[in-house]
Amino acid sequence: MSAAAAALRPAAMSVLRGAAALLVVAALWEGLVIATGVKPYYLPRLSVILQSIAQVPDAYIAGFLRTASETLLGFSVGAVVGVFNGVVFSQSRRLREVIFPLFVISQTIPVIAFGAVVVLWFGNTILAKAVIAFYLTFFPVTVNTLNGIESVDPRQVDLLRSFGASRFKLMRQLLLPAALPQIFVALRLACTLSLLGAIAGEWFGDTVGLGVLLLQAMYNEQVVALWAAILVAGLLGTTFYGLVALAEKKFVFWKAEQT
């Protein structure tokens, strides 16, 4: 009982510390803007921004939900395909050598340019943005899954094999769990990337989403609305990142002391 409480304490402490840091930043922001008299064009007061969100919460909530679903869809499929690719590549050297360079080249294509084409292919749907988010997610996950699997001690593989473990069993019980810490590093990176893809994808004439809110605010030079959209995008980004980090703590508990 008390051991569990003691284990909970660091987590609670870090949440508290995060909340305290947030409050400090908010107070600093508000105070500095008032004290230095920065023009609202450059940096409006935080309270003004929050008020403007409170006035029309529906647009921000709708944008949040829309962008979140695009991101999540692309991210999950990208994560699954990435792990799958990593597993396949680890089993077939030849396949890896033929396909991997193509993946590398594919990642040098500027997403947004590709976005124009994707939106044309799939129309202005959630699917188009999810495809862009997917495109940015699968690559880091593939790379890290492969690296994680390859860095397993070959003696452990030999040992399991000598006990007659099948390829499938070897993968499930040794290689994938061993690669998990690396996979999570990629997932954390990918959650920022997939959100970026979803937002940029909305720039091709969609009507709902955080990217749309950003673009509209820019064209109308409404700095307050722009900051409001940035804050909501930040909220989405940090929540998403936090959830992935939480999952990492739960599934990669043996590495908990490292992060």
Partner 1 sequence: MSARSHASRRTLVNGAIGIVGVVVLWEAAARLLDLPVYVLPSVSRILAAIVAQHQLLWNAALMTMWEAVAGFFAGSAVGIVLAIALTMMPRARRVLLPMATALNSVPVVAYAPLILLWFGIGPTSKIVMVAIAVGFTVFLHALSGLDRVDRRAVDLMRSFGASPAAIIWRLRVPAAIPLTAAGMRVSTVRAMIVAIVTEMLGATGGLGWTIFQAVLQIDFVQVWAAIFVASAISLVFFGGVNMLEKRYVFWK
Stretch of 14-22, 50-58, 80-88, 149-157 lying at the interface with partner 1 (CB under 8 A): 14-22
Nearest C-alpha neighbor of 139 from the set 225, 220, 75, 209: 75
User: What is d(CA 22, CA 214) in angstroms, rounded to the nearest whole number?
Assistant: 23
Of positions 203, 208, 249, 251, contacts partner 1 by CB under 8 A: 203
Residue 98 burial by CB count (10 A; 0-12/13-18/19+): exposed, middle or buried?
exposed
Count of residues that interact with partner 1, criterion CB under 8 A: 53
Q: Is 221 a residue that touches partner 1 (CB under 8 A)?
A: yes
DSSP string, 2-39: HHHHHHHHHHHHHHHHHHHHHHHHHHHHHHHHHHHT--
Of positions 10, 18, 31, 40, contacts partner 1 by CB under 8 A: 18
Cα pseudo-dihedral 60, 61, 62, 63, rounded to 10: 50
Q: Is 31 a residue that touches partner 1 (CB under 8 A)?
A: no
Smallest separation, CB 39 to partner 1 (Å)? 11
- Residues in 117-146 that interact with partner 1 by CB under 8 A: 117, 120-121
- Residues in 37-76 that interact with partner 1 by CB under 8 A: 41-42
Smaller CB separation from partner 1, 40 or 57? 40
Q: Is 223 a residue that touches partner 1 (CB under 8 A)?
A: yes
Dihedral sign for Cα atoms in the order 99, 125, 123, 230: negative
Q: Is 229 a residue that touches partner 1 (CB under 8 A)?
A: yes
Smaller CB separation from partner 1, 120 or 247? 120
- Give yes or no for a contact between 174 and 163, defined as CB atoms under 8 angstroms apart: no
Residue 30 burial by CB count (10 A; 0-12/13-18/19+): exposed, middle or buried?
middle
Smaller CB separation from partner 1, 60 or 204? 204
Of positions 72, 79, 196, 212, contacts partner 1 by CB under 8 A: 196
Place of tokens 């452990």: 156
Q: Count each helix (H run) and each strand (E run) in the chain, helices first.
A: 11, 0
Place of tokens 């305290």: 20
Residues ≥6 apart with Cβ < 8 Å to 147: 179, 182
- Residues in 145-174 that interact with partner 1 by CB under 8 A: none
Residue 150 burial by CB count (10 A; 0-12/13-18/19+): exposed, middle or buried?
middle
Stretch of 45-53, 75-83, 155-163, 199-207 lying at the interface with partner 1 (CB under 8 A): 199-207
Smaller CB separation from partner 1, 165 or 231? 231
Contact code string over 75-114 relative to partner 1, x by CB under 8 A: -------------------x--xxxxxx--x-xxxxxxxx
User: What is d(CA 250, CA 259) in angstroms, rounded to the nearest whole number?
Assistant: 12
Q: Which residues bind partner 1 (CB under 8 A)?
A: 17-18, 21, 24-25, 41-42, 94, 97-102, 105, 107-114, 116-117, 120-121, 191-192, 195-196, 199-200, 203-204, 210-211, 214-215, 217-218, 221, 223, 226-227, 229-230, 233-234, 237-238, 240-241
